[in-house]
Amino acid sequence: MPPENAAETPSWLTGISAAMSSALAEETPGERPQQPTAEETSAAESLPDAAPSTEAEPASDAVFSMDMPDWLAGFTPSDLNMPPESAARPASPAAPNPEDISPASLPSWVQALRPVEAVIAAAEEDDFEQTVEKEGPLAGFRAVLPVAAGLLKIQRPKTYSNKLDVDNAQQEQVALLENLLAAETRAREIPPRQKNSAERPLRWAIAAILLLVTLIPLALGSRWTPIPSLAGADLNAFASTLASVENGAPALIVVDYQPAFAGEMEPLAQSALRELMKKQARLAFVSTSPTGSLMAERLMAQLDAQNNYPTSVQLGYLPGGAAGIQVFASDPTRVGRGSSWKSATLSGITHLEDFAVALVLTDAPDEGRLWVEQAAPELRGKPLLMVISAQAEPMLRPYFDSHQIQGLMVGLNHGAIFEQQFLSDGPVRQAWDSFNLGLLVMETLIVVGGLWALIAAWLEKRAAEQEGAY
């Protein structure tokens, strides 16, 4: 501190400086005083000059006689009873040998406070240290092979009895299951039917009646039953479309009915084809059925027995179902013999729309549906007509209602009405009496048979009641 500020030094700091000077003077003569460092010298110079003091006690009294805070004023060196510096600093003993140190015994409650993870880790380390291989190619590896003797010992497996300890309840359940399985493979016994001596003659009598009713009108050529005169919208559209076909126009005829339906389909087909033949239409026959070509030849043989109709050609069998119809609709010239397309009947026809009309004869609803879905779009507005059996009507009528089919002739009923408009006596009219009389007789036999069964059951029940009464 500079000399000009010496007068401002507090009195308590002046007493501390005097005490430090007296303590340095009392050093023992055997100890060599250390030379002060440059830092200590500069610090001492910065302190203010203090009056020299030769006695320690007056200096300490001077220190404690200065102004102090209230909380520190009541303490004196005699009250503190501080031990001397030599007693406060015990002599440091020599460094002990680590081997002579014995572990201290801790109370059980202190040991319980030890973390569990540390105990487990220590145990694992001990086990890991113990499993070290001493011999063999794995010597020096830890925890590789089990060290317990006999773990890898090879011995014969134990033999166990194949007999089950089954109680009575389980045996009953097994027997029940076996009976169920046996019943599944055993055929059910049907009691023999009681033979009736009058059954066989009755069957022959019914067959004879049906044959006589259907054959006699055909043989006599009778015209007893009347023909209905009311035609539906489907038949009117069929007749008007067929009448609008120009003379000499090409017509595609699809013959897709089976031989079993020839009795119903041939009269209808003959009535429709006869109208086309009157206009000298050029007829091209094709079929997706293997027997369709034969049915087409049979049909033409009935219509033209002397083979005087020159403008007709057979394109043959069209395989492939829907795919075959689609190929034919896109390019008709790919079907049939090449010479057929060079004939006068098919001259100028390269696409399906070149035909003036397409007439499908079928007894199966699926066949009619395929021709509507695959061929109708390629006709480009040309009419598509169908002659179908009565069984195919429910599935194909929606196509007529949606105007995808321009006309329908369904069953002998439509065929008779169509012939009445165009022909005086056609093939449908010749079979009309046999058809109607056969239906009438079959209905009568069904009613009579039902009444007979009811009377027989009533008589049998009455006889059983009389036997029970006696």
pLDDT beyond 90 at 311: no
pLDDT in tens, 46-85: 444 444 444 445 445 555 555 666 665 555 555 545 555 4
Percent of all residues in the chain with a pLDDT value above 70, rounded to a whole number: 70
**CA-based nearest residue to 245, from 352, 359, 372:** 359
pLDDT beyond 80 at 331: yes
Give 31's pLDDT tier (boundaries 50, 70, 90). very low
pLDDT beyond 60 at 40: no
pLDDT beyond 60 at 382: yes
Percent of all residues in the chain with a pLDDT value above 90, rounded to a whole number: 34
Choose between 417 and 423: higher pLDDT.
417
pLDDT beyond 50 at 119: yes
pLDDT beyond 60 at 368: yes
Per DSSP, the residues of 301-333 read HHH-TT----SEEEEEE--STHHHHHHHHH-GG
Give 399's pLDDT tier (boundaries 50, 70, 90). very high
φ/ψ of residue 234, rounded to 5:
-65, -40
pLDDT in tens, 195-211: 777 788 888 999 999 99
pLDDT in tens, 216-245: 888 887 788 888 878 889 999 999 999 999
Per DSSP, the residues of 281-304 read -EEEEEESSTTHHHHHHHHHHHH-
Helix (H, G, I), strand (E, B) or coil at 245: coil
pLDDT beyond 70 at 131: no
Strand order in the sheet with 250-256: 312-317, 282-287, 250-256, 357-362, 384-388, 407-410
Check residue 470 and give its pLDDT.
64
pLDDT beyond 60 at 30: no
